């Protein structure tokens, strides 16, 4: 079976997929300001793309992405960020439901602020497993990259990734406007699709490695 999106499968197909690989990816991002040139859903679109690419290699299925995230660029145009307790409750319910469905490995993959949202999800995952829930890995593209130590907000890396994944959603021409670089990283003007492709593929490779080790 080559279809990976949970919402597109029938119950019979989901059972077949789980029997082949009892693994489910849960992409969690945010709806947040990413400058004038990137979509506010970047974090989620990025996380979903990594999960789909990884699942194509490891097997398993990918849940519909969650565009709700917590903390970040509150008050900026387009940002819709929820309280930590709200995101924690959502993650707990998702983990409980997936455990009841019989999945043995769950990958929570967050595209948004690993120090905050990633840490929150890690705490939820540890509590879930302590209560007998399925094994859960919390990953994100910003810290598992094999060479990059830090990714700046809406900078060269994130802009390059979106130029690779969805160039139709990127508006580089808007970066020349006055105050265009406010609250984002100035090296975004150096972004290229080629750089984004290499960076994205390295993240997918590491995600695949960790998912296989986690089984």
Alpha helices in the chain (DSSP H): 11-20, 42-58, 84-101, 119-130, 156-165, 193-214
Residue 41 has pLDDT above 90, yes or no: yes
Q: Would you list the DSSP string of 33-82?
A: --TTTS-TTHHHHHHHHHHHHHHHHH--EEPPPB--EESSSTTSTT--EE
Mean pLDDT of the region 29-48:
98
Are 186 and 176 spatial neighbours (Cβ–Cβ below 8 Å)?
no
Longest CA pairwise span in the chain (Å):
55
- How far is 85 from 91, CA to CA, in rounded Å? 10
> In which residue are the tokens 């994100």 written?
140
What's the length of the chain?
A: 215
Q: Residue 146: its pLDDT value, please?
A: 83
Residue 200 has pLDDT above 50, yes or no: yes
Q: Residue 148: its pLDDT value, please?
A: 72
Q: Residue 149: its pLDDT value, please?
A: 61
Mean pLDDT of the region 98-122:
96
Q: What is the pLDDT of residues 117-162, one digit of tens each?
A: 999 999 999 999 999 999 999 999 988 998 876 778 999 999 999 9
Residue 176's region, left for phi above 0, alpha for psi from -120 to 50, else beta, is alpha
What is the share, in percent, of the chain residues with pLDDT greater than 70?
98
> Could you give all domains of the chain from N- to C-terminal order, each with its CATH number?
6-148+207-214 (3.40.50.10310)
Residue 208 has pLDDT above 50, yes or no: yes
- How far is 115 from 130, CA to CA, in rounded Å? 22
């Amino acid at each position: 079976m080559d279809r990976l999106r949970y919402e597109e499968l029938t119950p019979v197909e989901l059972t077949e997929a789980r029997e082949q690989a009892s693994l489910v990816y849960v992409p969690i991002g945010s709806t947040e300001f990413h400058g004038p040139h990137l979509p506010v859903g970047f974090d989620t679109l990025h996380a979903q793309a990594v999960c789909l690419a990884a699942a194509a290699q490891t097997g398993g299925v990918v849940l519909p992405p969650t565009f709700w995230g917590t903390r970040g660029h509150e008050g900026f145009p387009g940002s819709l960020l929820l309280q930590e307790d709200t995101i924690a409750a959502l993650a707990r319910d998702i983990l409980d439901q997936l455990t009841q469905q019989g999945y043995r490995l769950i990958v929570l993959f967050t595209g948004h602020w690993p120090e905050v949202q990633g840490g929150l999800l890690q705490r939820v995952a540890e509590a879930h497993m302590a209560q007998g829930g399925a094994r859960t890995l919390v990953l994100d593209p910003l810290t598992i990259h094999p060479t990059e130590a830090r990714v700046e907000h809406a900078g060269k890396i994130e802009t390059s990734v979106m130029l690779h994944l969805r160039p139709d959603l990127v508006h580089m021409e808007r970066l020349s406007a006055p105050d265009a670089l406010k609250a984002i990283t100035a090296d975004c003007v150096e972004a290229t699709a080629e750089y984004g492709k290499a960076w994205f593929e390295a993240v997918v490779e590491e995600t695949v490695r960790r998912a296989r080790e986690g089984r």
